[in-house]
Structure 1
Amino acid sequence: FEEVSLVKSLELQQHKTSLFTVEVPQPQYIVEYGSNVTMECRFRVNGKENLNNQHSNYRGRVNLLKEKLQLGQSMLQITNVKPTDAGTYLCLIGYEGADYKTITLQVKAPYRNITKRTVTVQGTAGHSEWELICQSEGYPKAEVIWHNGEHQDFSAKANTTYEAGTDQLYSVTSTLKTNTSVNETFHCVFWNKEFKENTSAILIIPGNVS
């Protein structure tokens, strides 16, 4: 296997003369961050692995299932998948010529854990305002949408920042300032456009101001 975009390779060299083709049962994999994946390609000759060009980021996390090679299966297992593992992989079978197929690996980390805070601040003319804050980590970059209990969109009034989080994830923080009345309900929605997934949290303006 060879990862084209990041030049990380695990090449399978053949040592038997035969006509062969490479096939992939599944050309695309979508895997959650931190989980494991096994990508497969098939061929018609026996082979062995070549780790000479393996990228250092894969050491300890990548395993080619050797017992499958004699069965005409090249199965590449990656453990603890990270965002940097995403890309196009090349399964290359070579002997006096070569045949190959590509496999695409996509990595996602849903914004499941949302930390929320409601803070009172001093506004203009002595009036109290509120800062509603939602923060989460995930991948790829998510848009944060705000609306109230009546589904009015407040997203344009929010300030959303992106920083480097854990293990190449995005740390996303969104803050909405409002001078609405107490007990008003707001929703912050983390919208992952690439995978069309969203998670949300509910914030309620408290009735007692300390």
Structure 2
Amino acid sequence: LMVICLFNSAILLSGTPRVHVLTPAITALCGSDVRIDCQFHTSGMRKCFDVEWLQKRQGRTNSIHLFHQSPELSRFQDHSVTGRSTMFPSAVTNGNASLLISNVEMTDEGEYICFIVMDGVGYRDTAVLTVVGRYSSTVFQLKSVASCKQVLEQEAVSLSCVSRKGFPAALVSWIDDREKSYSQEAITELTLTPEGLYDVHSRLKRVFTSQRRVCCIITNSPLQESKRSCVQL
């Protein structure tokens, strides 16, 4: 509760050069560590100051870390990131208010406010953190119950493509070695996991009139990354 009072009680001056977030837009992989760099100028000010980091997400603003010159408040954290947010006390006195978030979770996504109170006046700058998940290639597979006999006799072939624990929702494409697309014929299901990631299961069933190589491609657009698996029919 004392943290909220710090943000609300100071005279707020935004858009000033005294506080500066070095990277306004940051993308982090789920499970990785991310550092949000924030610097502030202390020239002409007293050495007494407070640093507060807040996260704005889904219309709510929560305090996640507070640095205060009182030892009992120097490591304050709220319940959503307990044990995963870190500041650098030895650097703060030199104007470095950077925040390190360890083992990033999907709920860490949002707008981060670097808020500095000096001489009763508040200064702030913001950064937007986007969290993405890399679809795992270790569980990426393509299953086929097809046989040459099915293809030659023009029977329906069933193909299944699975990839897990990625974010955001993947784009799934089906294509053969002749660059013919079957994406419109596929049925794709996205399942949201308790961790806030997606499992993808795509199925294609059709008659192929000749033997060919068919590939399933799962694309994570923000990462500009594609996972591909193919089967020879």
TM-score by length of 2: 0.71
Give percent identity, aligned residues only: 26
Aligned partner letter, 1:186? V
What does residue 42 of structure 1 align with? 39
Contact 2:77–2:85, Cα closer than 8 Å, also in 1: no
Residues 1:132 and 2:162 are matched in the alignment: no
What does residue 65 of structure 1 align with? 88
Alignment CA distance shift 1:94-1:156 (3 Å): same
Distance apart, 1:108 and its partner CA: 1.7
1:67 aligns to what SS in structure 2?
Answer: helix
Contact 1:161–1:173, Cα closer than 8 Å, also in 2: yes
What does residue 130 of structure 2 align with? 106
Distance apart, 1:57 and its partner CA: 2.1
What does residue 74 of structure 1 align with? 97
Aligned partner letter, 2:89? K
Bigger shift: residues 145-154 or 63-72: 63-72
Bigger shift: residues 193-202 or 28-37: 193-202
> C-alpha root-mean-square deviation of aligned residues, in Å?
3.0
Alignment CA distance shift 1:165-1:204 (3 Å): farther
1:111 aligns to what SS in structure 2?
Answer: coil
Mapped to 2, the partners of 1:111 and 1:139 lie a distance apart of 7
Number of equivalent positions:
189
Contact 1:132–1:203, Cα closer than 8 Å, also in 2: no
Residue pairs, 1:26-37, within 5 angstroms: 26-37=23-34
What does residue 201 of structure 1 align with? 229
What does residue 175 of structure 2 align with? 147
Aligned partner letter, 1:118? S
> What per-residue deviation string (whole Å, max 9, x for no partner) do you get for residues 152-210 of structure 1?
010000000010236211001111112225752111111223443322111222xxxxx
Bigger shift: residues 81-90 or 48-57: 48-57
Please, which of 81, 93, 103 is the counterpart of residue 116 of structure 2?
A: 93
Structure 2 unmatched runs, 5+: 8-15, 51-66
> What per-residue deviation string (whole Å, max 9, x for no partner) do you get for residues 33-76 of structure 1?
21111111111235451569844220111111212111110111
Mapped to 1, the partners of 2:17 and 2:186 lie a distance apart of 58
Mapped to 1, the partners of 2:116 and 2:133 lie a distance apart of 32
Mapped to 1, the partners of 2:17 and 2:92 lie a distance apart of 14
Distance apart, 1:135 and its partner CA: 1.0
Contact 1:120–1:128, Cα closer than 8 Å, also in 2: no
Mapped to 2, the partners of 1:178 and 1:65 lie a distance apart of 59
Structure 1 unmatched runs, 5+: 1-8, 13-18, 206-210
TM-score by length of 1: 0.78
